[in-house]
Chains A and B, each alone.
Chain A
Amino acid sequence: GQNIDQPTEMTATEGAIVQINCTYQTSGFNGLFWYQQHAGEAPTFLSYNVLDGLEEKGRFSSFLSRSKGYSYLLLKELQMKDSASYLCAGFHGSSNTGKLIFGQGTTLQVKP
């Protein structure tokens, strides 16, 4: 199966840390992407995990456990501009012919 689950909404405070979880059924996925999408705009690439472990990129980090079908996106030192939807997407198939399957997205609201 290719189900991807994320919480629908989350709220956090400016300056805090928030973790957005994503779980998926493990069959067929060869990597996990995270995208940020502001309302009315296209998604922008945040991170890509193909191996287990933590990938850190500035204020954002992403973690993957393939055996558990689990990933999370960690946002540190939250800023108001981080209010957006965060999309978890599994890469299904081979490198040249595969496609992204998106979760429903998590809408994050950052409050002062």
Chain B
Amino acid sequence: GAVVSQHPSWVICKSGTSVKIECRSLDFQATTMFWYRQFPKQSLMLMATSNEGSKATYEQGVEKDKFLINHASLTLSTLTVTSAHPEDSSFYICSARTVGDTQYFGPGTRLTVL
């Protein structure tokens, strides 16, 4: 089956620093990647949709200058949380879509901002 990886699996950083999370589709080309955020005991909230070679489309209420998304190739998308604050602590999950609409999720990155 399709495999999506994320790196790092977890990260702890100080308030005010920036953190980059990578999402890779390992055995398929993903024209579209998605970034989600999930708080404890809540469902996944879509942050943005990322298409290769074009600007990401952000959901309402998500600050595009704070959550920078780059989708440089058909197998890699990155999410950079800039000037992170404790309220940004969350579980960040990416997913990649293959032809046929099925989305496969990465293992997630747990961000803790001190």
Contacts and interface: CB of A to CB of B under 8 A. Distances in A.
A31 B49 contact: no
- Size bracket, chain B contacts: 20 to 34
A101 B46 contact: yes
Contact of A31 (B32, B44, B101, B105): B101
B46 A42 contact: no
Interface residues of A, number: 23
B35 to A, nearest CB: 11
B44 A91 contact: no
A48 B103 CA distance: 10
B101 A87 contact: no
Contacts of A40: 91, 108, 110
B44 A43 contact: yes
A99 interface: yes
Contacts of B67: none
Interface of B: 31-32, 34, 42-46, 49, 91, 93, 95, 101-108, 110
Interface of A: 31, 33, 35, 40-45, 48, 87, 91, 95-105
In the A-B complex, the 6 residue pairs with the smallest Cβ-Cβ separation, listed nearest first, are A42-B105, A42-B108, A104-B43, A102-B43, A102-B44, A105-B43
